[in-house]
Amino acid sequence: MIVIFDVDGVIFETSKSYHLAIVETVKFYTGKEDINKDEILDIKFKLGINNDWDISVAGIIYTKGNFELDRFLKEFKEASKSTEEMYKFGERYNITLPEYKELIEYFEDIYSSLRENEEMIISKDTLKKIREIADITGVITGRPFEDLDYSFKKFNLYPFFDYIITDDDTPLSSQKKPSSYPLKLFFKRFSYKEPSIYIGDTIADRDMVKNYNSEENKNVKFILLDNPFIKDYEGIEYKVKTEEELFSLLKDIKEEKGKITQS
């Protein structure tokens, strides 16, 4: 069994780190203090914007453009698929945006001041148990390596994983979730076998798995770690709320595959 994890919202609770960094970045580049965090996160999760630098850009456009939320979700949907299209959208509405590199530097400075707030969602005890029943464990995350490295060293998590793919491994917008590219990269390192499972918390995670299965004719299973911002459960076969439920489900999936193999 191969088990692959997302990081933000799955291994780490990020509402007091990344989510606050998004809001602070939008505040800085719009000059507005009354930023509605829930609306920005609504945009992130409903449009499946996995990269937090990109959702910061989207939040700046949304705030500066004084859009109604529903209208923005509809009009921005296509542009949300890449950083380049977001900037083109901003140009069409005459919205001044910061240079992307500058925004990244500001965002990362803010995040660095907040990352001590992060706590683990899945405990090390549960990660250890999953490690014991899985043949291969890994990570596919939109986190930059530097951010992941800090947190994984702080909590001593490297021993739990065989292979890690970060944002640094997917430099192009077209290579990031929901693109199938990160999973293709993973299965270049380790041969695909069943059952293979990806655990995520967003629509972008679901769609990465869906795209990979469609393109490669495989059957990677997706488990959603429940997220209050996700209302669209289409195509989601498995949903869990706790780490106990997650471990129990993984055992069931492995045992079911074993029964099929033996029959």
- The one-character DSSP state at 182 is H
Residues of the chain with pLDDT under 70: 233, 257-263
pLDDT at residue number 229: 76
Domain 2-13+119-262 part of CATH 3.10.270.10? no
Where along the chain do the CATH 3.40.50.1000 domains lie? 2-13+119-262
What is the reported pTM?
0.91
Identity of the amino acid at 122: I
Structure tokens of 169?
């491994």
**Short-list 254, 10, 7, CA closest to 134:** 254
Place of tokens 């596919």: 140
pLDDT, residue 257, reads: 67
Q: What pLDDT is attached to residue 262? A: 40
pLDDT the model gives residue 241: 94
By percentage, how much of the chain surpasses pLDDT 90?
91
